[in-house]
Amino acid sequence: MVDLKATEGMKLLAGNSNRALADAIAQYLQIPLTKAAVRRFADLEIFVEIQENVRGEDMFVLQSTSFPANDNLMEMLIMIDALRRASAKRITAVIPYFGYARQDRKVGPRTPISAKLVANLITQAGASRVLTVDLHAGQIQGFFDIPTDNLYAQPVIVKDIKDALGHGDHLMVVSPDVGGVVRARGLAKRIGADLAIVDKRRERAGESEVMNIIGNPAGRSCILVDDIVDSAGTICNAAEALMKAGAKEVFAYATHGVFSGGAVSRIQNSALKSMVVTDTIAATPEVAKCPNIRRISIAPLIGEAMHRISNEESVSSLFD
């Protein structure tokens, strides 16, 4: 918990994408959620009404742009616009999961860079700064023309690994693909474990085929680490390959549990002993019921970053 005096002048407005996380952050900061009405007209247009005075306030708008991504994005833009027109002093868009982040470059002729478009929309709506968690690509920070803080979930994940599995030679951190090596190396260094890499070939979008494992996982407790788990095909195939290579057991950690399509049933029937994700995305009933999916809270990390932003203190020192 933070000092009550330190949160004077800051207010938190929550969208509908992840109310449980908003409540947890408000509890950490010991501030009530700002009263607002968010409703739909008959044609599903979104209407927002701020129901208390926010003139001159330091406002934080919490909204993950997860499924339904377009509805949640539009809701956030309208909330920001409403605050701007109500003369809020500063508006920080707190986006635990930044949708469209995987569209960060042109993948072919005549294709968009949608992450840049979304950054422009948030800026034009009236946001003064952005706070997000584990962007899929670090360069997205440069898409914004306003200050942007990208928090890292790794300290939360490291603590959970040490509490659940300890640390030492029996552990091996595994990157499910070559692109995640930097992330996996950082985690391995923090828990004192060796590093392995799964080399895979993706035949088509949404499907992956494991080809080879660089490293020796035999007899080890392997920890697969990624930023986003969507269809879960990559992570489940990697777990199966590790078990075939002699791994003792396989765990997986990720920041954002998108879990689209048949991801939950795929994880439930996989070789994974557990799939651990943070609560940046609200859990569906299917996720909540899955016996080998576990969620850990990132609310204290986001709450502390918000407190530091409001008090003009260092955010990067959270990760020193």
Dihedral sign for Cα atoms in the order 303, 304, 306, 307: positive
Is there a binding annotation on residue 160?
A: no
Whether residue 291 has a cis bond before it, omega within 30° of 0: no
Is residue 116 annotated as a catalytic residue, yes or no? no
Is there a binding annotation on residue 232?
A: yes
Is there a binding annotation on residue 187?
A: no
Is there a binding annotation on residue 226?
A: yes
Is there a binding annotation on residue 3?
A: no
Is there a binding annotation on residue 177?
A: yes
293-296 and 221-229 strand pairing: unpaired
- Spatial separation of the C-alpha atoms in residues 197 and 316, rounded to whole Å: 29
Is there a binding annotation on residue 136?
A: yes
Is there a binding annotation on residue 45?
A: yes
Please state the separation of Cα 229 from the chain's center in Å. 10
Is there a binding annotation on residue 233?
A: yes
**CA–CA distance from 253 to each of 36, 90, 152, 177 (Å)?**
35, 35, 13, 14
Is there a binding annotation on residue 19?
A: no
Selected catalytic residue, list 35, 200, 244, 273: 200
Three-state secondary structure readout of 197-233: EEEEEEEECCEEEEEEEECCCCCCEEEEEEEEECCCH
- Spatial separation of the C-alpha atoms in residues 37 and 291, rounded to whole Å: 36
Is there a binding annotation on residue 231?
A: yes
The answer to whether 208 touches 234, Cβ cutoff 8 Å, is yes
Closest CA to 153 of 217, 229, 71, 222: 229
- Spatial separation of the C-alpha atoms in residues 110 and 153, rounded to whole Å: 34
Is there a binding annotation on residue 224?
A: no
- Annotated binding-site residues read 43-45, 102-103, 136, 177, 202, 226, 230-234
- Annotated binding-site residues for D-ribose 5-phosphate read 202, 226, 230-234
- Annotated binding-site residues for Mg(2+) read 136, 177
- Annotated binding-site residues for ATP read 43-45, 102-103
Indicate which residues carry an active-site annotation. Answer: 200
